Structure formats: C-alpha cells, structure tokens
A and B are shown apart, each in its own frame.
Chain A
Amino acid sequence: DGGITQSPKYLFRKEGQNVTLSCEQNLNHDAMYWYRQDPGQGLRLIYYSQIVNDFQKGDIAEGYSVSREKKESFPLTVTSAQKNPTAFYLCASSGTGDTQYFGPGTRLTVL
C-alpha cells in the first residue's frame, strides 16, 4: 500500500522537552513538507524539502528542526524553543511540481 504515515497520532510533551514527530512515505516523492494547523487558521508551512539532504525554512520555522537523510523520511523535531507548540502537525509529500498528499497528522499537546 502506497501512502504517507505519521507517528504517533497523539503526543504529549512536558514544557522544556524536545519531541520528534515521524513522517514516512513510500510514494517515491522527492518533495516533503511539514505544516502546522491551529483552530481558525490555515495550514502554515514549517519546513520543506525538495530533495534528499536539502531542506528550507517555511513561514514559521523558529523552534523547529528537520532532517532529510533518506528520501522516504522527513522527521520534525519540536524543540523547547518553540513557545506555543500545541497544534495539529501535518506532513505532506509530492512529486516534482505535483499535488501534495497529506499524512494522517500528529496532535501534539504540551502539558
């Protein structure tokens, strides 16, 4: 089955902790993206990667970090520097210049 998977579905973090959200795709897509969704707001781009070993900041990259060591994987780390991390995080992938397809999302809550 081809698709995008994200884990975990729900994640709880204590203040001051770093957490890493997983995103994997087996669609052979070159580009991958991380978005954040808050109530009443549109999806906002955190980071994106168009090719392995390369990634770029989006609108709201502060307090986040990513890596792209494999084509299939684009993990997102939410660091303690992110002051308001509670949100729904969505990973997406696309072929070059193509439609973006989304994973099921991870809901992060800071306790």
Chain B
Amino acid sequence: GQNIDQPTEMTATEGAIVQINCTYQTSGFNGLFWYQQHAGEAPTFLSYNVLDGLEEKGRFSSFLSRSKGYSYLLLKELQMKDSASYLCAVRDRRNYGGSQGNLIFGKGTKLSVKP
C-alpha cells in the first residue's frame, strides 16, 4: 500500500532553523513534492525532488533519500510568516492513470513560529 507520515505539529523560534521530516512507502515512486498552506488558503508549491540529494531554493531546502523512503524540508532564518502547514506529497506511477501518476498527500505538519 501507500503511506506517508509527517509530524502533526512543530514549534520553532523566529530566526531559527527547522527540519520537517516525511517518510513514505510506495512501490512506484516518481517524485516527492512539498507544499506550504496557510490557514484557509490553497497549498502553494515549494519544491520537487525525484533524485537523491538536496535541492536548495532560497531559505527553503528539500532533501530526498529514495532508498530510505525519506525526505525533509529545511527552513532557515524562520520568519513569522512561515507559520503554516507543510504538506508532503508523493507521486506514484502506479496510482491511477497516466504514465506519471497522481499525488498522495500526507496529513501535513502545522508549524508555529514564535517570536
């Protein structure tokens, strides 16, 4: 089957670094996505990993290890506006139709940034 796990909630301090972990189980892995979602709003795309390693994009970085079924999102120099839910989603080519596969989402990690 397919399963995605991430912590439910995390708290961090403004200016600090926080790492949000995501573990997954899937047979037809075809990429992992991170989205940010502020309360009551739509998810916005942050990053995409399909090969092992670290992808850096400004204050945000995402890491993938396919052999371990593991990813993390690293947020540096935290700001109050980073308080949001962070969604991990895995694309499984065996999931539904098409050659690319659809996304399976984790339940999200709610990050609270304190002054």
Q: Does B94 contact A (CB under 8 A)?
A: no
Q: A97 touching B100 by the CB < 8 A rule? A: yes
B39 → chain A, closest Cβ, in Å? Answer: 11
Partner among B40, B98, B106 whose Cβ is within 8 Å of the Cβ of A42: B106
* A42 cross-chain contacts in B, Cβ below 8 A: 4, 87, 104-108
Smallest Cβ-Cβ distance to A90: which chain B residue: B42
* A31 cross-chain contacts in B, Cβ below 8 A: 98
Known: A40-B107, A42-B4, A42-B107. A102 touches B100 (CB 8 A): no
Q: B33 touching A99 by the CB < 8 A rule? A: yes
Q: B98 touching A50 by the CB < 8 A rule? A: yes
* A101 cross-chain contacts in B, Cβ below 8 A: 45
Interface centre among B41, B43, B44, B87 (most CB of A within 10 A): B43
A residues touching B (Cβ–Cβ < 8 Å)? 31, 33, 35, 40-45, 48, 50, 56, 58, 88, 90, 96-97, 99-105, 107
B residues touching A (Cβ–Cβ < 8 Å)? 4, 33, 35, 40-45, 48, 87, 89, 96-100, 102-108
